[in-house]
Each structure stands twice: as structure tokens, then as C-alpha cells.
Structure 1
Amino acid sequence: MHPPHLRRGAAALAATLAAAGLTVLATAAPAQAATCPTSVNAGASVPFVTLEAECATTNGSAIGPDYTQGSLASEASGRRAVQLTGQGQYVEFTLTAPANAVNVHYSVPDGRSGSLSVYVNGTKLAGGLPVTSRYSYVDTGWITGSKTHHFYDDARLQLGQNLSAGAKVRLQVDAGDSAAPYTIDLADFEQVGGAGTRPANSVTVTDYGATANDSSDDTQAFRNAISAARSQGKEVWVPPGRFEIPQALQVDQVTIRGAGNWYTVLHGNNVFNNGSATGNIKLYDFAVFGDVTERNDGSPDNAFHGVLGAGSAVSGLWIQNTKCGLWLMNGASSNLTIENNRILDTTADGVNFDGNVTNSVLRNNYLRNNGDDALALWSNGAPDSGNTLSHNTVVQPNLANGIAIYGGANNTVTGNLVQDTNALGGGILVGNRFNSVPLSGTVTVSDNTTLRAGALDPNWQFGVAALWFDARDTAITGVTINVTGLRAIESPYAAIQFIDGNGQGKTIQGVTVNGAQVQGVGTFVVQAQTTGSVTVSNVTASGVGVTGTYNCPYPSNIPPLAVNGSGNSGWSGTWLDCSTWPAPNSGNPQPSGNFAKGRPVTASSSTGGYPAPNAVDGNASTYWESANGSFPQTFTVDLGTALPVSRVVLKLPPSTAWGARTQTLSVLGSGDGSAYQTLVSSRGYTFDPASGNTATVTFPAATIRYLRLTVTANTGWPAAQLSELEAWQS
């Protein structure tokens, strides 16, 4: 208890502050910080410091970690957050660097709006932090597998004072804060400089009738200022304040400059819309705030929509609550520089190069809570080529990938951070998808970091990796894809994945991964689900949740992916049962029963309609048959890892239509698929429907990974035939 004189001093101070509209923070119950998620120093260099709520002092309830689609924790940075449910609950951040402003990433229940009280070093600020669910809880029923998502939004506030490191900023539920429960994910603390001043050789929109901070339509005033500036060879200056732009502006050969993205706000769902432009468009230092509450892909509700032409730049923008940040289409754009922007809370993509964007740079941008791919090069109709995505940060795209390269030529993805991705995507994707112009030339993926990237796909019901390659539309061939310097940290599912998302087994070739660090992975280091040949070298791994490799092609009658390479360490073993999918971090138990069931197989030949995988599918009524009239024939099954085998059971269909026959064959084994030893020399085995059309071969136990039959004769048909091959330990 405080001595009486101190208590009287506090009461006097409270009275003084109350007269000024401020209050003193009451003494609260003891609180402590929750467990902090892993963080990394990578990606964009930003002017703010992010502090996670779960690392702050709180008497609220920590939620997460969780990777379940459609949950508050799974959509939070770090997959953790803090929930404040009642009066007196708070999160208190201790600053690690000077700041005078804060941007809070939060969620409140659907249909609620209000405020949350803010205290600085114990003193309550007037007004508080405005919060709303207006831009959250997005439904996209036309996207198969999607659920209600996009739970979070951002609210920013200038604190009215310069704080030093060590200062405390508290978010607290007080009387009148009626939007509870409040879920606080994080806070960005920033030292915001003063507003910019009007440059020389400029026209100002206010001289043409624009009025700040009222509800009047400023569109025509902006159009007149833009026209005047272009005709006079001047810039357009937009002073501090909020300006209403309900009708889109068209821009070409003009610079528009604001006083800074904390000061100048253009309010509209589609502020810029260019059907054509030659270029030299410069957009600098302002914010675009939209009012997009649902995603409508038939409406251009994007901060910038259309073509930028040649030599344009977009820098220092804060874009929030639009459908997309920048969607470039309608013509060729080249030699663009898009840098130092903040793109938050969009219902779809952050930036999309929708075809025909060349030799351009996307660098040092920060994107969070985007409702589709955060950064996408989509070679739609014409290739995106020669572009570089460099040192960007992507946090929590909640319905697709962090970074996606859909076709195109000679593009580079380097030095980026992709963190906490959610459903229907992974971390970084390179693929032929969405009818893109196929990949060609050389694609460079270098020195990127993924953190908790990847997700369980709700349609496929298996994990998507931190870095993945998808031959969904066409085979990935005729292209060189070089991956170097990858860091995949705490991937909830696989680290690196190769797949044909249409399940047709299209080939992937030309991918070389040379040098990667995998630090914690829920399932596999490499996950392969199609055919082809890739090289994976010098990949080190730790904390592998299941086993090193999953290599189960789909459909199962195609050869597995050939994964070549050397210098790998810390990961070994292969998932053995292609008919099942393991839970993350469940380990890879030593198999029992029939080792061969569902495993990848190859055969020297097959007759149409009777492929080799029929002989390991567990169904004795389906069978493999080799080409007719040609011996010897071989049948090889990859058991996935070295296993002790001492008994092989061979079957033909049990139907009486299959008359008795004798096949002459030998049994061989190998540890590496190259050098084989004879386990049982060639001899005849009789298959008789009267005894189940089954033959059993026993031999001294041999530890092998590859099991091969060599068939040299068949008295019942001029081909090798087999409905099941079973491999047993005893």
C-alpha cells in the first residue's frame, strides 16, 4: 500500500489530468508476458518496430499457436495473439526504440465497432483507438475450399508525444469500450517525422477546389490539378488531410506527391484507374484508404488499377482496405520501381503484375493481411519478364501465397521474408498456373527466408510447402530454376514441394536447389507428388517432424520424381505408405505388414490397361502385365527405406478364369537402386487358382530398399503377370 501522502498526490494529479480530459491508469492485477514466437531479421527495412502482443505484459488470455484454417490464432502473426474479454484487461507494450505513433493489428467480433482505450506511461489518451469489424470476416464462396477469413484489420494513432525506448503503451478495455472481446495481434511503433512541405514547381489540389477533412467529392479538383500540372510541367502537391476520391483518376506523365503517408490520405476504393498510359507516372508519399468490405472480383476496387507505362515509380504509399494494392494490366509496363510501400488488409492481392510487365523492380515493400497472393507475377496473356522482387516482407496472406510466380521468363525473387501463410497457398510458389504463359529462361530464387510458411490445403487435405513448384497447367520443362540460400524456418508442413496440382502427373524438370537451411519442419524436407527430375544439394535440416522425403507420384502409375544431388545432411528416410498421409510431427515409425503396398514401382514394360502400380495396390483382382512376346521382364518396387525382408508373396487374380500357370523368375534386392544382389535364383513358381493363385518365396533376411523380380518365362501367357507383390519381414 502507498503511504498516504503519495496517494493524495496521485489523487491530485488525477484531478488535474481529468480536467484536461486525461486519466491516470489505475493499479492493475499482476500480469506477465506470454511465450514469444520466433522472429527473424530479413526482408524489408521498415520505419517501425513490430512488437507482438503475446510478448508484451498482459492480464488477458493468450491464444494459439494454431494452424487451423479459419481461426483467430491461425491468422495472427506468429500464430499467437492476446484476447481481452472484459473491463480492466490490457496489453502493455514496452518500447524498444523511440516512437510517436502506433499502428495496431487487431480483431473484434463480426458486426462490432467502437474504441479501445490507450494509455501512455500510465496516462489515458483522449479518444482512444478506433476499431471496427467493417473490413473483416470476408466470404469468398466461389473459391473452393475457402472459409470466412480475413479477421484482422489495422488502426493507427499518433500519440501526440515523442516517446523514448522503455516507454509503456497500454491498450486496455475500459468502461465504454464495448466491442469486446478484442484480439490484439501486434503493434507497429514508429517515429513519424513532420509533414512534408509543398515543393517548388508544383500545383496544389486546394487551389483547384479540393477541401480536406470534409465529405465533399474532391475528384474534379484533383483532375483539374493533374491536367494543369501536366500542361505546365509541374508536380501535383497534396497537402495534409483526407480527400474524398469516389471516382477514379487517370494519370500519365505526372508526379503526385503527398506530405507523407501519415498525413495525406486519399479516400476511395479505386483512386487510380488507367485504361492506357505512356508512363513517367510518379506517386509519392501519401496513403490510400478504401472502404472495401467484401471482395468483388468484377469490380476494380484497387488503389491503382491498370497500366503504368514506362519508367514509372510508386514509393512511400500506405494502402489499406482496398481490394488490391496495385493491379497492373491493360497494356505494357516496363522499368517500374515500386518500393517502400505498406499494403495492409486488402481483400485480395497486394501487388499483381497481370501480364506484360517487364524489367521492373518490387523492393522493400511491407505487406500484411492480404486476402490472396501478397506479391504475384501472373503472366496472363503476355509474359512478365526480367522483373525482380527484392527484400520485401509478407506477413499473413490469408487465402493464397506469400509470393507467386505464375509463368513468365527470367524473373528473380531474392532476399524476401514470407511469414505465417494460411490456407490455399504456401510461402513462395513457382509454377505454371492460371493459364499463364509457361515458365522459360532462367528463374532465380535466392536468399529468401520463410517463417512458419505453408498450410494444410483444405481441398487436397495435405500440406503445402514453404517453397513449392506446381506444374498444374503444363509441365515445367525448358526452363532453368535456380534456388540458393533458402532458409525455411518452422514450416508447419513441408519445406520444398514438387506437384502437379491437377493430379495428372505432369513433369517437373530443370529445378536445382543448391544450399538451403531447414530449421524445423512439420512433415518432410522434400515432398514430391509428380514425376520428372530435380537436383537437391547441400540442404541441411534439423527438427524434421516426420521423415526426410515423401515421394509418392499421383497418379501412381507414373515413375516417382528423381531427386538427385549430394551434400545433404540432417534428413534421411522416406515416407513408406503412399496410401496414407502423416500428421505433422508424428514421426516415421518402422513399418509393419506388407512393406510393398502402395510403394512406387517401375517395370520394364506394361500392356495398356494393366500398369505396374496395380501389383502393389492391395487388390488382387487388378494386375500388371508386361509387353507380350518379350522376355526377360523386370518389376521393381521401392520400399522407401532399407528394411529387413525375408518373404515375398506373389499373386495372380483369384478368379477361376485364370488357369494354372508357371512363371520362371528370380528375386533380387538392392540398397541403392543400382547394385543388386540375387536373393533367390531363377526357378519356376506355380500359380493355381485351386490354391488361391499364390506363390510364396522365402529366403534369409536381407536388408534392402529396392526389391526386383526378373521374369524369364510364363507357361500361361507370353508375358510377365502379377496382381500383387507383397514383401514381409517374416
Structure 2
Amino acid sequence: MFSWRATTVALVVGASIQAAPAASAVGGNGATVPFVEQEAESAAHNGTKIGPDYTQASLASEASNRQAVTLDGGGEYVEFTLTRPANSIVLRYSVPDGSQGTIGVYLNGGKVNNLPVTSKYSWLNTGWIPGQKIHHFFDESRLLLGRDLQTGDRVKVQLDGGISNITVDLADFEQVAGPSTRPANSLSITDYGATPNNGSDDAEAIWQTVLAARSQGREVWIPAGTFEVNRPLAIDQVTIRGAGMWHSVLHSNNPFNNGGQVQGNIRLHDFAVVGEITERNDGQADNAYHGPLGTNSVISGLWMQHLKVGVWTMSGTTTNAVIENNRFLDLTADGLNFNGRVSDSVVRNNFLRNTGDDALAMWSLRGADVRCRFENNTIVQPNLANGIAIYGGQDITVRGNRILDTNALGSGIAISNQAFIYDGTFSPLAGTTTVADNTLIRTGAMNPNWNHPMSAIRIDSYDTEITSPVTVTGNLFQDSPYSAIQVVDGGGQGRQVRNLRVDNNRVDGVGTVVVQIETTGVGDFSNLVATRVGTAGSYNCPYPAGRPPFTINAGAGNSGWDTQWTDCGSWPPVNGGTPPTDGNLARGRATSSTGYVQVYQPSNAVDGDPNTYWESTNHAFPQSITVDLGQPRSVSRLVLKLPAHWGARTQTIAVEGSTGGAYTTLKSSAQYNFSPNTTVTFPASNQRYVRLTVTANTGWPAGQVSEFEVYSS
């Protein structure tokens, strides 16, 4: 679901799957999967690395880890070294719009096959979004290698011609078991006329098998092969089982569609549903499974790709459903949506990558979702909207998930009272909503509707006040490009959020603030520990202006976010939409100087580029350059740099600091040899402003610094 309306301008406008932390008390590991994912930028290659980039609709921003490798000439390659035995590859890639071809696959130096690649299912147009309209650049292709490879073997993908260029994001390597054998108590679809791999429609044969299996109390068996299903089948009280998600394939845009109430006991196991959806059309049920599931249904071990949605439940009730161990890949809308009237159901241990909207959603329209759980799922690169979204519902739990690299319009997790359809049937949040033990990495995004940032976790009273308890506990936030926790009324009316409890969370890297509050209400915050904070600890500016600020009841154990951005007329600078990653507190900060010549302005010293530099007014010592860290920070070390190709020189420099008043001496004037870098250390103290004063330079009659780096230790 889209989580913001473009028509409501409401807020103050501002500017590889990683391993879980080994010893962290917070966060979740996500899904347990049978494959190993390897990032192209970390593998051997002779291509061009792109990224990291967080800009909407840039190629690198849609890559896992925001980085990838582009191959744009014959013979360019990426070579992966296996860390576990495997006999298959899934390649995530992007090719230019309108192109298709192959990329060569080499094992230990020898070519074994070509892997088909195409732009057919990518380069989608989302015309209703401001800014860049085209997105969804990546797709995935899979291949059984035909042999068992061992740890240390090398798998290379190489541009051999036939396609102009390709950007390789990552590869998954898996030891795929052979096809399962037919269960004894089953009827095969081939016995009723289905023929694999010949392109003919097998829908009627499958339907006749379903009818016979139900009447005889047997299962439906889908053997290895690809079967065409050109019309949807309404199924109920039946088990359909395949030989494995790599072996049994239903080629269909919507093989299963229950338009009304069903009894349940629907069991779908171990096959793939691969469609041909190239554009999103919300008037079509282009989903692997569409409709209610009744009671006690299970969907397990499915591979769902090139569809609109994997599983969308609506038009009836669903109770005690289990959705587990599935892969949702390259979809134009949601991965899964519990669209109202779902109770006591769980979605767990699923892997989702490259969905076109919310990866996992509950939307309590025309009946509440009650006591449902999203647990231990892994979500990578939801292209639009959120990783996990809860729109209303009662006693909902989001626990143990791992979410990485959200893009435009998306938080990692959204807890929201946004109805989307205003027919009076939406059920707002009730009972207790629990968001616990999740890991969110590089989540949150710039909303292109207003150029306004959205956080890793968002609590949103969009259409209705949030008055029932919401608990956010035990979560780990890593490298959030903007903020970690946001409390907001996305509808712009200042609706309250009350009964919010934030406890025992860890924040490691934010680009702006730890807590971003833009509506009224009250919440309890304790044991929220933050490091590598971008601009300030919090931003508490309700919209519309004039509303009382949100009340933060600060309990015990908080640290690292005690400063506040107090100018509600401006949004804190966002450091380019990326968190500080190397501990350099000065990177991207505001600077000033006593003077500079030509284009050698003081901001060059904090731009991360050692080849650009500040040069003071010549022949006019002393000269100073000052960096504003945005808030008082503990500082005790400077690294000062000059361009590497310059000759060595000695500058005489004094270091001073200030929290906003008079400056004090941090390091008395001394000579420092630049060849080309030098380090200055001094006793740790809290300073907001750090100033260098240069009184001599043996290499030039001016103060010169290409990088002015400030560290806490």
C-alpha cells in the first residue's frame, strides 16, 4: 500500500544480506534460508562499482547494500567464490530498458552455460509519484548449474556480447535438492491430461485433478516441469503439492482465485508460480493466490515471481492460516497483504526481495485483522512503500524480522491508521500493537511527494488518532539514511499518538535525528541507546504549527540522543541522505573561515573528497577554519589531510573548541608535518564547534586543509 497521499501537503518540509550482530541484545535475524547471498561489489570483478547512493530512481539506490557492479564491455565480469556447496545460481541484475540477451556463466574458469537476462519485467512507470517516474530497475534469473560445486569453487558471470551492458547486484548460491517423489496418496495432474513444457493450457486438467482429489480424499501432485494455467481456479479443502520450488512451475498470472467465502484447509506446497506481469494493474487479480483462505490453510515452499502480488486475502474470512518458507520476488505490488477479516494467522520465515509496494502488509478494510503476526521474515529492497506495513487491526505483532534498503515512500516498518479507502469500513489500531526484536538496515527514505524524510519505524495517526498501546521494543536500527523512529500524522491534521512505549532499542547510525516527531501526544522512551548520530538527538515540531509539542517521558537508560533540533522552521540537514559511516563527525557539516581564495572554500574540507581543499586568504596569517558539529559531541582526535600528490609541508596550527560561547584551547599551537596527512590528539571534551587557527605554512603562504576530520576517539 502507498503510505502517503500526494494531495495532502501536511508536514514541515526539510531538506549483501548482512549477518546479524554477534553479541547484540536487540534485533532479529529474519528468515532462515537455504542459500548464501553474495554482493557483487565484494566479489572479484573488473567492472565499475556504483554507489552507495540513496537518491530516488538511481540504479545504485535500488541495489542491495546500495552498491552494485556495472559491466559495460566484452570480457568484463564478476567472479564469486563459494563459501558453501551449491549447484544453482540466482542472479540479481539490471539491463538497459528494451533489451534482452544472455550473460555467460563460468565455473572455475570454464564456460558452462548462458543465463537469460531481460528488461521485460523492470523499468516500471509510476506516473502518480512526483519526481522520477521510472523505477524497479532490477530483476532476477535462476539457473541450475548441472553439477555440485564445493566451497572455494569460483562462479563467474561475464559479459560475452549480445547485450550492451549489465549491472550485477548480487548472486544467491544454493544446493538445490532433486525433485521430490510423488506422494502415495496423490493424483497427478498428468494423469488428467496436463503436459509439461509444451506451452498448452493445463488449467482444465488441473481442475479435474482437484475435483477428483477432493472426492477421493487425496492430494493433487504437480510433477517436475512447467505447466500453463491460463485461467484462475477456485480451490477449497484441497492439498496441492509440487516436486519443489525449483522443479514444478505453474506459468500463470493468477492460478488460484477464490472470489468469495471458502471453508479452508487449502494446502499449497513446494512449487513455483511464475507470471508475465510487466505493469501494475489494480483492476486485475494478477496474484499467485487471491481471496480468502478460510480456516487452517497453509501456503509453504512457494516461489512467486513476476506477478502483481504473491498472496492477497480479501472477500471473505481467513483464520489460523500459516504462510511460511516462501520466496516472493520481483513483484509489481505487495508481497503479501492480509486485506481485512484475517485472524490468528502467522506469516513467518519468508524471503521477499524487489516488491513493488509494501513487502508485507495488513490492511484492516471491511473488517479488522485480529491477533495476526509477521515473524522472522527477511525483506530486501521493497521498491515502493514499506518493508512491513500495519494499517489498523487489533493485537498485531511484528517480531524478529530483518529489513534492508527501503526506497521511495517507504519506512522499514509502518504502524499506521491510514485507511486509503474512505467508505467507513476501516478498523483503526486497537488492542496492543507490538513491534519487537526487528533489525532494520538502511531503512527509511525521502518521500518524493514533499521531499520529506521518512524514518526506519514510523508511527502514523494518518486518519485516526492512535490511542491504543503501541510498543516498540528490542529493535536494532543500523545506518538509517534519515531518522530511526518517527511519530507523525501523515494526514497533516495533528492527530495525537498516545500510549506509545519505546524501550530497549539500539540505534547505530542515522543521517538526521534519532527521534523525529511531527504531531502531538505522549510516549515513554527508555533504554534507547544511539551512536553515530547525524545532526541531533531529536526533532519535536508538531504540524500544524501552534499545536503543543509531543511529550517525551524520558525513563532510565537513554543515551546518545539528548540534543534537540530546535528550529521548527527548517528541517535538519540530511547529510545527503546517508548516515555517518566512518565516525568522522565533521563530514558534511556547516563550515566557516576567516577567508578563502577563488573556489577553495571551507566546505571543501568536509566533503569527503581529499582532492578538494580549503585555502585561506594568502599572505595574511593567522587564518581560521571552523566546523559546526550540529550539537556538542565528545571529541579527542583530528585527522587533517592535504591532496596526496602535493609535496610535504609543515603547518603551525592551534585547535580550539566551543559549545556555543567562548572558545577554549584544546591543543596549543604546534607544528604538524603534512605528508600528506597528520593527526592531532587531545583530552576528550564535549564541543559543538571545532576551530583550527593556522599561523604558518612552509609550503604556501596560507592555511590549507583538504579534509578536516573530527573523531570522538
Which residue number in structure 2 is paired with residue 70 of structure 1? 57
User: Displacement, 1:147?
Assistant: 2.1
TM-score (norm. length: structure 1): 0.75
Residue correspondence of structure 1 range 96-135 to structure 2 within 5 A: 96-126=83-113, 128-135=114-121
Amino acid at match of 2:64: S
Q: Secondary structure in 1 aligned to 2:191? A: helix
Residue correspondence of structure 1 range 501-540 to structure 2 within 5 A: 501-540=490-529
Q: Secondary structure in 1 aligned to 2:123? A: coil
Amino acid at match of 1:85: D
1:461 aligns with 2:451: yes
- Whether the 8 Å contact between 1:146 and 1:399 is mirrored in structure 2 is no
Which residue number in structure 1 is paired with residue 271 of structure 2? 286
The percent of aligned pairs where both chains have the same amino acid is 56
Residue correspondence of structure 1 range 457-496 to structure 2 within 5 A: 457-477=447-467, 479-496=468-485
Amino acid at match of 2:163: A
Q: Deviations over 1:618-663 (max 9, x none)?
A: xxxxxxxxxxxxxxxxxxxxxx999xxxxxxxxxxxxxxxxxxxxx
* Residues in 2 aligned to 1:481 and 1:354: alpha-carbon distance in whole angstroms: 21
* Residues in 2 aligned to 1:385 and 1:51: alpha-carbon distance in whole angstroms: 38
Residue correspondence of structure 1 range 146-161 to structure 2 within 5 A: 147-161=133-147
Gap change, CA 1:588 and 1:528, over 3 Å in 2: farther
Q: Secondary structure in 2 aligned to 1:421? A: coil
Which residue number in structure 2 is paired with residue 46 of structure 1? 33
Q: 1:560 aligns with which of 538, 549, 565?
A: 549
Which residue number in structure 2 is paired with residue 167 of structure 1? 153
* Residues in 1 aligned to 2:303 and 2:213: alpha-carbon distance in whole angstroms: 23
Q: Deviations over 1:295-322 (max 9, x none)?
A: 0011110111111110000000000000
- Whether the 8 Å contact between 1:546 and 1:587 is mirrored in structure 2 is no
Q: Secondary structure in 2 aligned to 1:155? A: strand
* Residues in 1 aligned to 2:353 and 2:17: alpha-carbon distance in whole angstroms: 17
- Whether the 8 Å contact between 1:573 and 1:641 is mirrored in structure 2 is yes
1:341 aligns with 2:326: yes
Q: Secondary structure in 2 aligned to 1:230? A: helix
Q: Secondary structure in 2 aligned to 1:83? A: strand
Which residue number in structure 2 is paired with residue 220 of structure 1? 204
Amino acid at match of 1:493: Y
Q: Deviations over 1:543-602 (max 9, x none)?
A: 0011000111111110111111222011221112211123324778799xxxxxxxxxxx
TM-score (norm. length: structure 2): 0.76
Q: Secondary structure in 1 aligned to 2:564? A: coil
Which residue number in structure 2 is paired with residue 85 of structure 1? 72
Q: Secondary structure in 2 aligned to 1:65? A: coil
Q: Deviations over 1:357-416 (max 9, x none)?
A: 110010000000000000000001110010111000000001110000000000100000
1:430 aligns with 2:415: yes
Amino acid at match of 2:253: N
User: Displacement, 1:141?
Assistant: 1.5
Amino acid at match of 2:204: Q
User: Displacement, 1:463?
Assistant: 1.1
- Whether the 8 Å contact between 2:535 and 2:631 is mirrored in structure 1 is no
Amino acid at match of 2:38: L
Which residue number in structure 2 is paired with residue 262 of structure 1? 246
Which residue number in structure 2 is paired with residue 685 of structure 1? none
1:328 aligns with 2:313: yes
User: Displacement, 1:40?
Assistant: 3.3
* Residues in 2 aligned to 1:377 and 1:515: alpha-carbon distance in whole angstroms: 25
Residue correspondence of structure 1 range 1-400 to structure 2 within 5 A: 39-40=19-20, 42-126=29-113, 128-143=114-129, 147-174=133-160, 177-276=161-260, 277-400=262-385
* Residues in 2 aligned to 1:413 and 1:171: alpha-carbon distance in whole angstroms: 38
**Length, aligned pairs only:** 555
- Whether the 8 Å contact between 1:390 and 1:415 is mirrored in structure 2 is yes
* Residues in 2 aligned to 1:543 and 1:39: alpha-carbon distance in whole angstroms: 20
Gap change, CA 1:345 and 1:172, over 3 Å in 2: same
Q: Deviations over 1:158-195 (max 9, x none)?
A: 01110111110000011xx3223101100000000110
Q: Secondary structure in 2 aligned to 1:445? A: strand
Q: Secondary structure in 2 aligned to 1:74? A: helix
Q: Secondary structure in 1 aligned to 2:211? A: helix
- Whether the 8 Å contact between 2:465 and 2:495 is mirrored in structure 1 is yes
- Whether the 8 Å contact between 2:81 and 2:155 is mirrored in structure 1 is yes
Q: Which runs of 5+ in 2 are unaligned?
A: 1-15, 22-28, 421-425, 576-586, 593-629, 633-713
